[in-house]
Chains A and B, each alone.
Chain A
Amino acid sequence: MTAQVASMGSSLGRRALRSRWIGPLLVMLSVATLMALTTDRFLHPRNLANVSLQMAIVAIVAIGATIVILTAQIDLSSGSLVALVTVLTAGVIKNVGLPVPTALALMLLLGALLGLVNGFFSTYGRIPPFIFTLGTLSIFRGLAFLYTGGTPIFSVSPQLNRVFYARLPLLEIPMPFVYVLVLYSGAALYLRSTKGGRQIYAVGGNAAAARLSGINVNRVRTKAFVIAGVTGALGGILMTARLDSGSPNYAQGMELMAIAAAVIGGASLFGGTGSVAGTLFGAMTIVIVQNGLNLHGVAAAWQSISLGAIIAAAVAVDMWRSELGSVPRRLAAGLRGRARPGAGPAETRDAAGPAGDPDSLVTKER
């Protein structure tokens, strides 16, 4: 009985390690602890509520980023898509006069369509997604400018405003929380327990094997972009609702924050590894850092620089992850090396070892 419980526990532990959300959770908690220790304003309820609301939009856009990254692709256009959706949402409600629900449905459809464009050209069109979405990054924001002539659209609709600021009846939970909770649960369930989710991991892990397993690789990759388009549109809608306005200048750099959330959350840019749970902690980490820097009165320039540093560090951790895993062994080898006369530094010699060579004996021989 106890053995059974223990094995269940270790199995859960292994799965947690594999989906890599424990690390991101710890990173998020330590960043939060650091902020709480250095400024008493961080734990103030008003500040915590503010942080959470800030996080909601990035977190939702990051779901799409995660799914695209899981298929070993990248979407650089999500920030611009958010901006385009803010001006169009504001425009169709205020200028065209569409009812809010119709407008929102239209925006979700548009997001899916723009995602389809990204997906179609970077899979069937065989333009590398990095390049193609770099193009749409520019195009989507350009369209937003074209639509508004450069000026923001203010005072859109009190009804839309409530979409963000309303609270859940009885429990008094702010709606953005509810959206995040529902969307993350849905995405986690999709990735874990549906055929489509499993195929996303398969395609990201080994596209050639996925094809020989009967998976339509291009379709799965395109679908990932469509999902990213929809989450981008959701982000755009929420941003319009929050700010009661749309502007082509909104969501600058949000694509990077979304990608960073996914990568800090344990998603590998090589595809096939990662989870939305990790991404949620990644998004929290980013927003907490930003908030903390704000509270400490750090200038905007330095905030931008620190966000860049976090992104670079997260990607570096992804690239070096396998090597970092072998640090204890290398230390041990180094100690043994020093005990022998004439032994040199241990760092260089393992470079071509199991870490550098994915097919080396650890995988090969055992």
Chain B
Amino acid sequence: MADRRDRLGVDSEPIWELRGVSKAFPGVQALDQVSLTLRLGEVHALVGENGSGKSTLVKCLAGVHEPDGGDLIHQGDFVRLRDPLAARDHGVATFHQEFSLVPSLSVAENVCLGRLPARGPMIDWNAARDEARRAFAELEVNVDPDAPVGVLSVADQQFVELAKAISQEMSLLILDEPTAALGPAEVERLHRIIARTARQGRAILYISHRLDEVLSVADRVTVLKDGRLVATRDVAEVTIDDVIRLMVGADLDEHFPDRVAPGGPARVEVRDLWSDGGARGASFEIARGEILGLAGIAGSGRTAIARALFGADRVHSGELRIDDQVVRARTPRAAIAAGIGLIPEDRKAHGLFFNLAGPENITIIDLAQLLRGPVLRLSEERTRSRQLVEKLRIAGNVMDGSVQYLSGGNQQKVVLARWLFAKARLLILDEPTQGVDVSSKLEIYHLINELSGAGLALVLISSDFAELLAMSDRIAVVRDGRIVHTAPRGSLSEHDLVEMAAGGNAA
């Protein structure tokens, strides 16, 4: 807190001012007369549900989009940012939500991409490496500047992306969902770096779905809704509930729905699971209707365990039993046949078919249900899909349009609808609410509860520990590909989880 007041003390002239900035896309007024100021030394958070216009605003400042109306004012001068280069020349550095890294190039090349240091006509590789090393030192991480980016873990790639942003000369650092792939310890470290960067006299624009993070790192918070500015507040004056109210425009009594833990015999038993992907002797049980939360930092093996259960990675040894039957799922196909479902972490890359509409996306998992002889009953497909769309309250043109045009929350509901259609017995949810707006999150929580009520065994993987604690009946802490601790809900705090999950690293 003292730290925050120090920074507010800087309270300088605004470095950037947006006045009535608007931007329209076909059928969408993405930004509508948004005005805000960014000051040196200040961390300014931008929050809002999916579709509220956050990314558009960021892209206007990063020179990706040019506003249709309104003004961008940099240190008192009206400026136009026609392309990302122009934005960089005005001291804007951006960390993008989607990586902008080239997998085949080295870490150093990526960090210095577009401005590789030169000596005469030749690239000065040593200078590039030094620059990358300096940036990593500042980020307190150790990444080999010569490694190709493609071989790094997602978390490390995120740090390379960060290094790329902070290694430039800049007066404004934009961070768009910088913690999406990070574990709690890494988030904490990132926040320290952000605070320090701000103290060094830079403006920071921080975009995140995780409101607790926003409130812990930002000085001021601006809430967008449907492209319009709802409010800008000092963080010291607001609570998470206040911010949520501003975002959704209505009271949200509960952040998470209540859960009653079910009891009963184990429905799923996993014994000593080893896999190519990084499961190293994981064992656990899940009862009917139970939600087992897997907690761990990025790279701890949570996703590897999920992939091994689903047959997506090669399993060396171990046993999986569902309803007392041994299940050997060597491929996702076999896993699905055995009643195992997976909601993948990256729903765009691994979940959805953007060339298809909602019904096709839902039924693809079990087309056999629709067959009459060799022919798919397309009207049956529409009827059953419409039922699921209504049950899950999926909004948008789901029945006929590409799922590409749905919001993140609705896309995730389409993926969930699959496993209601296929009637899974064990469902693994890998970061099910990542990149999902607050009200869709709540609906997804209710859906998860409903699935549990229907007797499914559920595995929940989430980097959002508050979510994990609220939604899981038991928490299993994962480190190095195995379960190091299991505890019922209520006996653990978020703080405990952060400590336990990071245990290996802190030593």
Which residues of A come within 8 Å of B, CB atoms? 11, 14-15, 18, 189, 192-195, 198-199, 201-202, 204-206, 208-216, 271-273, 326, 328-329, 333, 336-337, 342-344, 348-349, 351-354, 357, 359-366
Contact of A214 among B97, B98, B337, B360 (CB under 8 A): B337
Interface of A is mostly: helix
Cβ contacts under 8 Å, B355 to chain A: 201, 204-206, 271-273
9 new A-B contacts at CB < 8 Å, known A202-B353, A206-B355, A365-B51: A194-B374, A195-B371, A205-B353, A214-B331, A214-B365, A329-B25, A344-B82, A349-B66, A366-B51
B181 at the interface (CB under 8 A from A): no
In whole angstroms, how far apart are the Cα atoms of A344 and B83 in the complex? 12
Q: Is the CB of A361 within 8 A of B375?
A: no
B189 at the interface (CB under 8 A from A): no
Q: List 19 A-B contacts (CB under 8 A).
A: A14-B401, A189-B375, A201-B355, A205-B356, A206-B350, A208-B349, A209-B349, A209-B350, A213-B365, A213-B418, A214-B331, A214-B332, A326-B26, A336-B68, A352-B64, A352-B83, A353-B64, A364-B50, A364-B408
CB distance from B99 to the nearest CB of A (A): 10
Cβ contacts under 8 Å, A348 to chain B: 82-83
Q: Is the CB of A363 within 8 A of B350?
A: no
Contact of A195 among B65, B336, B367 (CB under 8 A): B367
B235 at the interface (CB under 8 A from A): no
Q: Is the CB of A362 within 8 A of B28?
A: yes
CB distance from B245 to the nearest CB of A (A): 22
Q: Is the CB of A359 within 8 A of B98?
A: yes
Given contacts A206-B354, A216-B333, A361-B55, A198 and B64 within 8 Å (CB-CB):
no
* 3 A-B pairs with least C-beta separation: A272-B355, A205-B355, A214-B333
B125 at the interface (CB under 8 A from A): no
In B305-332, which residues have CB < 8 Å from any A CB? 310, 312, 331-332
Cβ contacts under 8 Å, B201 to chain A: none
B453 at the interface (CB under 8 A from A): no
Cβ contacts under 8 Å, B97 to chain A: 364
Which of A192, A194, A214, A271 neighbours the largest number of chain B CB atoms within 10 Å of its CB? A214
In whole angstroms, how far apart are the Cα atoms of A348 and B53 in the complex? 23
B400 at the interface (CB under 8 A from A): yes
Q: Which residue of B lies closest to A15 (CB)?
A: B400
Chain B 439-465, CB-CB to A under 8 Å as 1, else 0, gives 000000000000000000000000000
Q: Which residue of B lies closest to A351 (CB)?
A: B83
CB distance from B31 to the nearest CB of A (A): 10
Cβ contacts under 8 Å, B53 to chain A: 365
Contact of B405 among A14, A357, A363 (CB under 8 A): A363
B30 at the interface (CB under 8 A from A): yes
Q: Is the CB of B26 within 8 A of A214?
A: no
Q: Is the CB of A364 within 8 A of B55?
A: yes
Q: Is the CB of B354 within 8 A of A205?
A: yes
Q: Is the CB of B400 within 8 A of A352?
A: no
In whole angstroms, how far apart are the Cα atoms of A328 and B64 in the complex? 19
B295 at the interface (CB under 8 A from A): no
Cβ contacts under 8 Å, A215 to chain B: 333, 364
Which of A14, A193, A201, A216 neighbours the largest number of chain B CB atoms within 10 Å of its CB? A193
In B398-415, which residues have CB < 8 Å from any A CB? 400-402, 404-405, 407-408
Q: Is the CB of B353 within 8 A of A272?
A: yes
In whole angstroms, how far apart are the Cα atoms of A359 and B411 in the complex? 14
Given contacts A209-B353, A214-B332, A366-B51, A194 and B25 within 8 Å (CB-CB):
no
Cβ contacts under 8 Å, B374 to chain A: 194-195
Given contacts A342-B80, A359-B348, A202 and B68 within 8 Å (CB-CB):
no
Q: Is the CB of B407 within 8 A of A361?
A: no
Q: Is the CB of B371 within 8 A of A363?
A: no
Q: Which residue of A lies closest to B78 (CB)?
A: A342
In B79-120, which residues have CB < 8 Å from any A CB? 80, 82-84, 97-98
B43 at the interface (CB under 8 A from A): no
Q: Is the CB of A212 within 8 A of B376?
A: no
CB distance from B161 to the nearest CB of A (A): 15
Q: Is the CB of A209 within 8 A of B64?
A: no
Cβ contacts under 8 Å, A362 to chain B: 25-26, 28, 405
